[in-house]
Structures are given as structure tokens and as C-alpha cells.
Chains A and B, each alone.
Chain A
């Protein structure tokens, strides 16, 4: 992760895993140089497709054309009018639509992007869903952290492809752990979450079962130096982490 700019080529050919993709898109929202490079490299990559063509079935044409008849095109992205209040989060389904769309205004893009890691596990669902652009539901605490303007992400990738990402907002003094593809803890055990303050690990919650989770950490995330995941005996509430440390994610990057 030394130089995130170097991911531009891999991004342009969709050769990043979900976590890297989300991270790089966060970066893209802020880096004009990378954005311009990615645009030209995507254009170049598409040229590779020139070397293959296929004759689609006539059936496909019918399916495609009848498929769009009931779907309203999304409105264009218009320059932000600076609403008095930050608009609430769009639903995950809406962000999924945007996931492959390249040109987006930075502000919107950022929100879309931060959603991406969370949505990654569920993408590829809901193509036909009618999407509402406006959603009056207030964002959950987790979403607020993920969408915070000062959200920082720290991702650890495990052998086998599982990822744990900590998203932290110092302004909100909150952090969220997002796991993807995590293998189950050994039988009778759970994953416990910790925030590290100086050299002290402070309990910050327990991870629910399942490979893909989003958990809000308890405790003061803003002043923490890092987060940890350990394996603990289920049902206990240890105040000191076991030696079975799964991940230590430092916040100074």
C-alpha cells in the first residue's frame, strides 16, 4: 500500500479486490491526477475489447429492449446546490447502480464509494429494483461513520482474501469494523474487538457471527491508536485480549 497511485492501471482493468477498489475510489475522489490517468487507461483498456466480437442471439436483443421499457433512466448528476442539510444516505440499492459509473461529481462519488465496501457483498443483486433516489430515513450510526467527511479507512487483507476494514471518523469519535469473507471463529469462540490506547487494549465489542459484518466499536475512536481483533471464548467479556490476535490495525497511516 506504499503508493496508492500505482493502483490506477489495475483499477482501470478491474483487477483490484473489493477492499482495494473501495480504497482507491476514495483516493480517486480526491486526486485529479489519478482520475485523469484512470480515464485514459479505461479508454485504452476498452480498446482491448476490439480484438473480440461475438454475435449475440436475437433473443438477447428482445430481452434487453423489453427490460429497459419499465426502467426510468437516472437523472444526470447536477452540480451540487449546497443543500442546507446534508442529504441523508441513499439506499444501498441506489449506490449499487453507481458502482460502475465512472464520472461522478466528487461529493456524491465519495459517498457512493464509502458505501462500496459495505455494499460489495451484496452487489450483483437487485438489478431490477426500482430505485428511489431520495430516502428520508436518517442514516444509521454505522452509515454516519462510513459517510463522514473525515472518514479514514484502514484495511487488512488476510490470506485467502478475507478483509477487515476499520473506518474511523475523528469528528464523530466513532469507528466501524467491516469484515468481508471472514472465516468463522473456532467453535465455541468469537471475535472480540479492541481499541488500542497507547499500549492498552480497551474492549470495544464483539463481532456477530457470519463472514460479512459491520460493527460499531464502542469507546473513544478518535484518540485510539489502532484497533484489534482477537479470538476469545464465546460468552465471556474479557478485559484483556487473549494471545490469539487475528488483526492489529494501526491508525497512523
Chain B
């Protein structure tokens, strides 16, 4: 214990340490038209954005289109990011997710209604080598936290978030009474939020 020297009060932590670019700063710079800040933002977040898009859209080529659309929107709306309302990554992935869901819905709008759940739910060959489960600490925490949900909450949440299905579709797929899937999704998210200690 004796060796532990308390940090001198008032001294700001040294600038050292590999500087992960602060995403909020980058977004602010993007809002002012700074393209090199955007390139840094892209490099810091592209694998997550594309990972999410692939997970929802499944087709790697289409997933990249979705990511491209999303990044364009992120650039355009970067000046409107409000750190008081959430993290930069959360904001960015929300945009990616919306684009991905819009893509699967519009692509499937015509065929989807008359396809049964089972036909739709054939395991999809992820021939893309691209998608990979992350072994990051954060990912492990998320998986751990997911085990705290009831099986129905978890399934409903995953079908909605990764499957891009509406809550009414989820209710049908899980044979839940109409109107209860939305509650399962909400309860699951709230539990996940509280376990993960998310504050907004």
C-alpha cells in the first residue's frame, strides 16, 4: 500500500494514453463540415455499423448499401447530435438500425405477407465471412445481461431488433396474445438497461 501514491489533486490526467478519438467531438466537427473528422468517425465505428446492418439485412452487399446510406445521414445530421440525449455511438447505431429495418421491410413488403414464418425462418447461410461475434468485454457483458431476461423477453427483443420484425409480427411468431409482444420487448429492454447501467 505504501507504494501507492495518490494522484496530486488538481492535476488533470496526462494527455498520454492512446487517445481514442472522442466521438462526440468528431460529430461536432462533422457538423461544421470537417471531412477528416468524418473519416475518423467512420474508422472508429464502421465495423459496428456494418456488423449491425449485416445482422439485420443479412445480405452483405445490401448491408453495405445500408451502412453507406446511414453514414451519409450521419454526416448530414451530425450537427444535430445532442450529447444530453445519449451517446454518440448509440445515436449512430440508432440511425443504422432504422435504415436497416426500412430496407428489409421495403424489400420484403410484397413477399413477406404471404410467406409463412417457417419458410422465412429457414436458417440463413451466412456465407459472408464478414459477420463475427465479438469477443469484446462489452459484448460479453451484453450477453451476460441478456441471460437475465426471460426467454420470451429475449426472443421478442432479438426478433424485433435483429430480425427487423414489427411487434405484431413478433407476437404471431411467438404465439403471444396480440399486444403483448410490445410489452415483452419493453420489459426486456428495461431490464437490460438496468442491468447494464445505461443512463441516458
Contact = CB atoms under 8 A, between A and B. Distances in A.
Contacts, number: 236
A13 B55 contact: no
A72 B106 contact: no
Interface in A53-101: 53-57, 60-61, 63-65, 67-69, 71-77, 97-101
B54 A45 contact: no
A161 interface: yes
- Indicate the size class of the contact surface on chain B: 35 or more
B182 A55 contact: no
B185 A47 contact: no
B87 A43 contact: yes
Interface string B17-32: 0000000000000111
B138 to A, nearest CB: 5
25 contacts: A9-B188, A9-B189, A9-B190, A10-B166, A14-B164, A16-B167, A39-B86, A40-B86, A43-B86, A49-B51, A49-B96, A50-B134, A53-B50, A54-B50, A55-B130, A61-B42, A65-B39, A69-B35, A73-B30, A73-B79, A74-B76, A101-B80, A102-B86, A124-B103, A128-B72
Interface of A: 6-10, 12-17, 20, 36, 39-57, 60-61, 63-65, 67-69, 71-77, 97-104, 123-124, 127-128, 160-161, 181
Shortest Cβ-Cβ A-B pairs, 9 listed:
A9-B186, A40-B200, A15-B160, A53-B51, A103-B82, A46-B93, A54-B51, A46-B90, A54-B130
